[in-house]
Amino acid sequence: MTGIVSNDGEKRLVLVSGRAHTELATDVAEHLGIELVPTTAYDFANGEIYTRFGESVRGSDAFVLQSHARPINQWIMEQLLMVDALKRASAKTITVVAPFYGYARQDKKHRGREPISARLLADLFKTAGADRLMSVDLHTAQIQGFFDGPVDHLWAMPTLIDYVRTRVDTTNVTVVSPDAGRIRVAEQWAAKLGGGPLAFVHKTRDIRSANKSVANRVVGEVEGRSCVLVDDLIDTGGTIAGAVRVVLEAGAKDVIVAATHGVLSPPAAERLQESGAREVIVTDTLPIEDENRFEKLTVLSIAPLIARAIREVFDDGSVTSLFDGNA
């Protein structure tokens, strides 16, 4: 039997994974010191998905890991089916681990007759049988309130900051938010990088079209300074590439981009490589295909953080303690 048994012998932790990002799941299992539950998953000719676990999960605390990568709807559906299978196999508790939570950008209505897709996704997981949700750097904190149960909102910031400190002179750093909405996150970055100044990029976005925004100008002290441009995700790279351009045009010494989720939909790799950024840093919450890797890209492992959070939940510990009380 795979998994971890608690000291009193009363609980058993098991980790199961879908097919979206098996490398991450394997890394998380290694950090936990366990093996993944053997799982069979395949597609029928019409696209329907079949899943089955290769050993008993009865009475276990089950964690089902699936990052919502491309093709996103397929992997969400697979995770829902795995949750349903765990429920019907009498798992004691079921925690959905979605390092990248799909549809998170659709967290409110911009115009009439639109869905709130992030809420719908939370409802689907609850209906399927999930007791708990765990994710990394949700697009907005309010998504935690969409799920009717505990939500563990993990931060990649400590992982990213530890690396960025080795790449910049912290006495000459400005942290830049790509828009006004990320200022609070930028403030936290600045405090942990020595308390340097903040800046933000003023941009306009067409809410009627996806992935379309224009970076107009940068507001703040950037001239002659190393700038760290921080965001939660990079999709097509247009917003970040535009922000790098205006920061460099404002006289910045150089620019490093740091983001949690490397969605990297085409033509992101080309845009980022040609943007003028000295380095682009992401975590591996999503799989990054070879064609989306480029010379300036650095990918950091998020597996240690997820493994520690899973163990804290299993041991009835404090997930917040992983972030020095700041999460």
Q: Just list the catalytic residues.
A: 203
Question: What single-letter amino acid sits at 208?
Answer: R
Shortest CA distance to 82 belongs to which of 41, 45, 48?
41
Query: In what helix (H) or strand (E) does residue 127 lie, and over which residues does it extend?
Result: helix 117-128
CA distance 16 to 273: 36
CA distance 154 to 309: 8
The SS3 assignment for 43 reads: strand
- What does the block give as tokens for 43? 């597609």
Query: In what helix (H) or strand (E) does residue 192 lie, and over which residues does it extend?
Result: helix 183-192
Shortest CA distance to 233 belongs to which of 105, 75, 42, 135?
105
Based on C-alpha coordinates, what's the Rg of the chain? 20
Q: Which residues pair with 153 in a beta bridge?
A: 135
C-alpha distances out from residue 149 to 58, 109, 143, 194, 274, Å:
21, 23, 12, 37, 44
CA distance 296 to 21: 23
Shortest CA distance to 261 belongs to which of 182, 152, 172, 160?
160
